[in-house]
C-alpha cells in the first residue's frame, strides 16, 4: 500500500487538524486542538524538561506546543511530505494548502504556528519509529500520539522506549487503538483480537516493567475531511514515568 501520509490530501487534512481555524469547524470546540490539548493535559512541567521527542509528529503542532516549555524538541515522522510541511512551518511560521470543500472544490487554508511560540526550539526529521537512529540520545519527555496503531510492528517501537526516556523522565502515549490490517498485520496488534486482551491491557503489560502509570485522560479529536464531514475519535492518553 502506498503511504497515505505522503499524499497532498492528507498533508492538507493534517494542517487543518493541527492548526484549526474556527470557521472551518462549525462545531462544539471540545474536540479541537487535539495536538495542543494533549500536551496541556498530559505533560508535567512542574520540573524542568530540557529535551523532548515527538514521534509520529506529523505536521508538528504538538512539537511546537512542547517548545513553549522545552528548550529542545525533536519531531520525527516517517512521512517526508509531513516533515517538509513541519519544516516550512518552523522556518516561515505558516504554510498554505488547498483543503476540500465538496467534491472537487477546494479552498485555500493557511496553517499558522501561534506567534508566541519560539519555533527555533523545534527541529524535524524523517525517521522510522520502529528503527530510530541509534544516536538520538536520551529525552526527558517522549510523546507518541495516535501512532502505535499506525505501525506495522508497534512492539518494535515500544521496546525501544526504555532506552529513549531518561530515568525520571515522562512518556506520553495517546491512542484510539484503531487496529487496521492495512497498517498493522493482525498478529502484531497489541489488542483487539477475538479472545485476546484489549489494547490498553496489553499496552500496560508492555510498559509496566520500565514505567509507572501517572495519569490517564480521554482526549477527543476531530479531523476535517471536507466542509461537512469530520472524523471524530477519542484517544486514550496516558502519562508514564520512567523508573
Residues in touch with ligand SAM (CB under 6 A): 5, 35, 56-58, 77-79, 82, 128-130, 145-147, 150-151
Q: Which is nearer to ligand SAM, 181 or 243 (CB)?
A: 181
Distance in Å, CB of 172 to ligand SAM, minimum: 11
The residues facing 172 across adjacent strands are 143, 239
Q: Which is nearer to ligand SAM, 151 or 207 (CB)?
A: 151
CA angle, residues 92, 97, 98, in degrees to nearest 5: 165
Q: Which is nearer to ligand SAM, 57 or 73 (CB)?
A: 57
Cell numbers linked to 233? 475519535
Q: Which is nearer to ligand SAM, 25 or 208 (CB)?
A: 25
Q: Are 156 and 211 in contact (CB under 8 A)?
A: no
Residues whose CB is less than 8 angstroms from the CB of residue 208 and which lie 6 or more positions away in sequence, other chains included: none
Distance of CA 99 to the CA centre of its chain: 21
Distance in Å, CB of 19 to ligand SAM, minimum: 11
CA–CA separation, 236 vs 241, rounded Å? Answer: 17
Amino acid at each position: 500500500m502506498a503511504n497515505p501520509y505522503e499524499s497532498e490530501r492528507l498533508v492538507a487534512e493534517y494542517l487543518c487538524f493541527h492548526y484549526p481555524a474556527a470557521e472551518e469547524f462549525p462545531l462544539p470546540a471540545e474536540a479541537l486542538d487535539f495536538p495542543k490539548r494533549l500536551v496541556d493535559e498530559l505533560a508535567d512541567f512542574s520540573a524542568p524538561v530540557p529535551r523532548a521527542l515527538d514521534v509520529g509528529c506529523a505536521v508538528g503542532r504538538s512539537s511546537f506546543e512542547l517548545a513553549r516549555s522545552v528548550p529542545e524538541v525533536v519531531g520525527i515522522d516517517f512521512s517526508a511530505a509531513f516533515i517538509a510541511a513541519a519544516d516550512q512551518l518552523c522556518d516561515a511560521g505558516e504554510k498554505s494548502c488547498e483543503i476540500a470543500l465538496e467534491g472537487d472544490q477546494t479552498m485555500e487554508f493557511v496553517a499558522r504556528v501561534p506567534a508566541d511560540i519560539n519555533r527555533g526550539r523545534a527541529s524535524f526529521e524523517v525517521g522510522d519509529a520502529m528503527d530510530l537512529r541509534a544516536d538520538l540520545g536520551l529525552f526527558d519527555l517522549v510523546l507518541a500520539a495516535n501512532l502505535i496503531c499506525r505501525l506495522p510492528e508497534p512492539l518494535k517501537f515500544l521496546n525501544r522506549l526504555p532506552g529513549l526516556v531518561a530515568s525520571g523522565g515522562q512518556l506520553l502515549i495517546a491512542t484510539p487503538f484503531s487496529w487496521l490490517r492495512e497498517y498493522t498485520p493482525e498478529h502484531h496488534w497489541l489488542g483487539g483480537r477475538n479472545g485476546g486482551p484489549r489494547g490498553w491491557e496489553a499496552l500496560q503489560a508492555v510498559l509496566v516493567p520500565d514505567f509507572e502509570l501517572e495519569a490517564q485522560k480521554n482526549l477527543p479529536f476531530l479531523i476535517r475531511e471536507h466542509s461537512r464531514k469530520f472524523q471524530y475519535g477519542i484517544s486514550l492518553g496516558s502519562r508514564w514515568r520512567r523508573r
